[in-house]
């Protein structure tokens, strides 16, 4: 039955893709795209805006806020982090006590910091508010189809373009439209989280978040149903409070998000990364705070390592990538210093003088393969540089694998695959990187 539906869906999306490319008039194409944008913005509680970024930057987010350096961002995010963790502890300290004990005793998870459990609770509130309507209203066969396509995508590189086309169609026509529908609280907390975890896994964009939702489901299953439902309400309330406060405290760094969504949504008709890219400011803010919290929690283990490596994304090369002479040896991609003005070259030289090796990582999808290597060598501390929306996901995975690590967000994004069609050289706070690597 599922195979038949898969064939029908492939055929339908292929026909519709051809139509969107050649049979819509320009006005019809714009109206279809704008309607899609309106659905997504409405689902996420956003009001589309076409105005300039609040910080005057052309980037989706910019930690420099129009300055030459992002030092102020790290000071402000640390302050917000302290206030946030105190609030979560006041409202849900008992829950964090029980959950942390559960994942250590019953799931054999190594202990983490109190702040990491608090961030995980906020992330639970985020996915509940953002995606539970999709989980409730998406037909099970659609979720199962989407999940199988994710597996096929990883196993069949030659079919990846076609699979991504179908995944883009599923996101646009089957997943995103359900996000605007009302959540009907008729199921128990455990049943709600089961559906939510399945839906998140099916999208292919929230693998680690789905695993954490499963952990919460297992813990809440041990509580009385009414108590479990109460804690889900608390998780959503805490995220709502965080969203309001972070908009004031960190909104200056994400003023380009709404213009980005309004400007580029029309060109996303068949993009498989739609659910990843189409995320509001609050998701960026949560990752900003998560970077600080996770670094604090992982610091002691990182400090005990004998050697250090740094992973930087290849998008840091920007337009220079076309002429880059980096050497690829298996998974290793090493800078050869071919361009004196390239930021990867500059960072590699500085880190080399500190006894630290720098590797380029082609894309977040290749991040897991890289981590296999470092997971086997506990004597190496890994500092990973990533786009802001990959911080939480990557931090979860490194923590789950027991890799001593630190993370550093890019000052602004610019990869051609997700954020900028031309691709621009991204940058990071090099002094902050040096501090993380040496833990000074």
Q: Which two tokens mark 206? A: 């929230």
Tens digit of each residue's pLDDT (9 = 90 or more) over 23-77:
223 333 333 333 333 434 444 444 333 333 454 567 889 999 877 789 999 999 9
β-pairing, 307-313 with 332-334? unpaired
What does the alpha-carbon distance between residue 99 and residue 219 come to, in Å, rounded to a whole number? 6
What does the alpha-carbon distance between residue 200 and residue 213 come to, in Å, rounded to a whole number? 9
β-pairing, 405-409 with 380-386? parallel
What does the alpha-carbon distance between residue 188 and residue 196 come to, in Å, rounded to a whole number? 12
Beta bridge partner(s), residue 408? 385
What does the alpha-carbon distance between residue 48 and residue 42 come to, in Å, rounded to a whole number? 9
Q: Write out the residue limits of the CATH 3.40.50 domain(s) in the chain.
A: 304-438
Residues 364/314, Cβ–Cβ less than 8 Å: no
Higher pLDDT, 160 or 340: 340
What does the alpha-carbon distance between residue 429 and residue 435 come to, in Å, rounded to a whole number? 10
> How many of the other CB atoms lie within 10 Å of CB of 323?
10
Q: Which two tokens mark 142? A: 């659609």
N residues, the chain: 440
pLDDT at 86 over 90: yes
Task: Provide the mean pLDDT of the chain.
Answer: 81
pLDDT at 277 over 90: no
What does the alpha-carbon distance between residue 92 and residue 87 come to, in Å, rounded to a whole number? 8
- Which pLDDT score is estimated for 1? 46
Please enumerate in sequence order all residues whose Cβ is within 8 A of that of 145, keeping only pairs 6 or more positions apart, or say none: 2, 5, 6, 9, 170
Q: Among residues of the chain, what percentage have pLDDT more than 90?
A: 44
- The most confident of the ranges 291-300, 337-346, 354-363 is 291-300
- Among 206, 298, 234, CA closest to 98: 234
> How many of the other CB atoms lie within 10 Å of CB of 85?
22
3-state secondary structure (DSSP) of residue 361: strand
What does the alpha-carbon distance between residue 437 and residue 44 come to, in Å, rounded to a whole number? 37
Which stretch of DSSP H or E encloses residue 183? none
3-state secondary structure (DSSP) of residue 376: coil
pLDDT at 274 over 60: yes
pTM tops 0.95: no
What does the alpha-carbon distance between residue 84 and residue 423 come to, in Å, rounded to a whole number? 35
Q: Which two tokens mark 191? A: 């049943």
Pick the CATH number of 304-438 from 3.40.50, 3.30.590, 1.20.1530, 1.20.1300: 3.40.50
- Which pLDDT score is estimated for 54? 52
Q: Among residues of the chain, what percentage have pLDDT more than 70?
A: 79
- Which pLDDT score is estimated for 212? 95
Q: Which two tokens mark 18? A: 């051809």
């Amino acid at each position: 039955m599922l195979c038949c539906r898969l064939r029908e869906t492939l055929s339908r999306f292929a026909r519709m893709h051809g139509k969107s490319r050649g049979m819509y008039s320009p006005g019809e194409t714009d109206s279809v795209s704008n309607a899609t944008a309106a659905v997504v913005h409405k689902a996420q509680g956003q009001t589309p805006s076409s105005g300039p970024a609040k910080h005057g930057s052309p980037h989706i987010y910019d930690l420099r806020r129009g300055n030459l350096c992002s030092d102020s961002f790290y000071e402000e995010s640390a302050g917000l982090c302290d206030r946030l963790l105190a609030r979560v502890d006041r409202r849900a300290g008992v829950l964090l006590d029980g959950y942390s004990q559960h994942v250590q005793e019953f799931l054999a998870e190594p202990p983490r910091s109190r702040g990491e459990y608090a961030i995980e609770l906020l992330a639970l509130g985020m996915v509940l508010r953002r995606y539970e309507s999709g989980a409730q209203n998406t037909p099970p066969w659609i979720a199962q189809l989407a999940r199988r396509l994710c597996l096929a995508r990883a196993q069949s590189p030659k079919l990846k373009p076609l699979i991504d086309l179908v995944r883009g169609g599923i996101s646009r026509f089957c997943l995103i439209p359900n996000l605007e529908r009302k959540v009907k609280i008729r199921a128990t907390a455990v049943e709600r989280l089961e559906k939510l975890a399945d839906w998140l896994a099916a999208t292919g964009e929230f693998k680690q978040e789905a695993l954490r939702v499963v952990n919460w489901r297992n813990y809440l299953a041990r509580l009385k149903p009414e108590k479990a439902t109460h804690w889900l309400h608390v998780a959503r309330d805490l995220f709502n409070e965080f969203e309001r406060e972070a908009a004031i405290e960190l909104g200056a760094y994400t003023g380009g998000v709404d213009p980005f969504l309004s400007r580029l949504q029309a060109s996303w008709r068949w993009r498989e990364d739609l659910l990843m890219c189409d995320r509001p400011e609050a998701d960026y803010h949560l990752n900003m705070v998560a970077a600080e919290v996770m670094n604090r929690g992982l610091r002691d283990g990182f400090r005990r390592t004998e050697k250090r490596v740094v992973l930087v994304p290849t998008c840091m090369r920007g337009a220079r990538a076309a002429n880059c002479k980096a050497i690829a040896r298996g998974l290793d991609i090493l800078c050869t210093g071919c361009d004196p003005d390239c930021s990867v070259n500059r960072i590699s030289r500085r880190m080399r003088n500190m006894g630290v090796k720098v590797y380029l990582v082609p894309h977040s999808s290749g991040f897991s393969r890289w981590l296999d290597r470092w997971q086997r060598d506990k004597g190496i501390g890994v500092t990973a540089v990533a786009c802001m929306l990959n911080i939480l996901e990557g931090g979860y995975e490194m923590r789950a694998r027991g890799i001593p690590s630190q993370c550093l967000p890019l000052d602004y994004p610019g990869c051609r695959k997700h954020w900028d069609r031309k691709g621009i050289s991204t940058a990071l706070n090099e002094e902050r990187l040096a501090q993380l690597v040496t833990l000074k």
